[in-house]
Chains A and B, each alone.
Chain A
Amino acid sequence: AQSVTQPDIHITVSEGASLELRCNYSYGATPYLFWYVQSPGQGLQLLLKYFSGDTLVQGIKGFEAEFKRSQSSFNLRKPSVHWSDAAEYFCAVANAGNNRKLIWGLGTSLAVNP
């Protein structure tokens, strides 16, 4: 069965430090992968996506993610975190059905220390 695992429930980093949020997936075919961010009081926003091609994808707000098929991973990174990055981050994979439902990870809550 398809699944997405985000091993870290909560992460705290200092402002200016680098960030890596982990995501592992289980999927039989080439996955369509996404990272979304949910800030307090705001809707989910698409950070970046991977469909095919270059395994390092760039997103908005300075985020990037790398698809590693051998590790079934799609980790999200940012070289220097800003206080405004504090939010909930969700990794998701789209299934192959006609409606392309998203299978969600449980999320990682990011706190940023000043």
Chain B
Amino acid sequence: GAVVSQHPSWVICKSGTSVKIECRSLDFQATTMFWYRQFPKQSLMLMATSNEGSKATYEQGVEKDKFLINHASLTLSTLTVTSAHPEDSSFYICSARVEGTSGEQYFGPGTRLTVT
């Protein structure tokens, strides 16, 4: 149980284009999902908290107009990187929190984004 999928697993895009990453909870409903960014050999950096049916809450320093998050259903959240630049190249990871628990999150396998 508690499986989270992410799609695509890797994507290459050109500078200036936008790319959408999907995060799905496959066997449970997730009111709350999280989006992280991870640089090589580093810990996870929380970008934003996504709540179903409401606007995402972004962490300080994260541009909300650049990283658009939509949580339209209890099983799907999307992250759209708009007008991508090479510095946006990174590993993006989503997670979903199991309702009624005390904070455990289940993670997707991640998406490797390369902007050329």
**A residues touching B (Cβ–Cβ < 8 Å)?**
32, 34, 36, 42-46, 49, 51, 90, 94-95, 99-102, 104-107, 109
Contact between A46 and B103 (Cβ–Cβ < 8 Å)? no
Interface SS of B by simple majority: strand
C-alpha gap A95/B57 in the complex (Å): 15
A44-B93, A105-B43 in contact; A99/B32 too (CB < 8 A)? yes
CB contacts (< 8 Å) of B32 on chain A: these are 99-100
Expressed in whole angstroms, the minimum distance between the Cβ of B58 and any Cβ of chain A is 12
CB contacts (< 8 Å) of B42 on chain A: these are 106-107
Contact between B49 and A101 (Cβ–Cβ < 8 Å)? yes
Contact between A99 and B102 (Cβ–Cβ < 8 Å)? no
Known: A100-B103, A102-B46. 10 other contacts (CB 8 A): A43-B93, A43-B108, A44-B107, A45-B107, A90-B44, A99-B97, A100-B102, A106-B42, A107-B42, A109-B41
With most chain A CB atoms within 10 A of its CB, the pick from B4, B6, B102 is: B102
Contact between A49 and B51 (Cβ–Cβ < 8 Å)? no
**B residues touching A (Cβ–Cβ < 8 Å)?**
4, 6, 32, 34, 41-44, 46, 49, 51, 57, 93, 95, 97, 102-110
For this complex, 5 residue pairs linking A to B, each with C-beta atoms less than 8 Å apart, are A32-B102, A43-B93, A44-B93, A99-B97, A101-B46
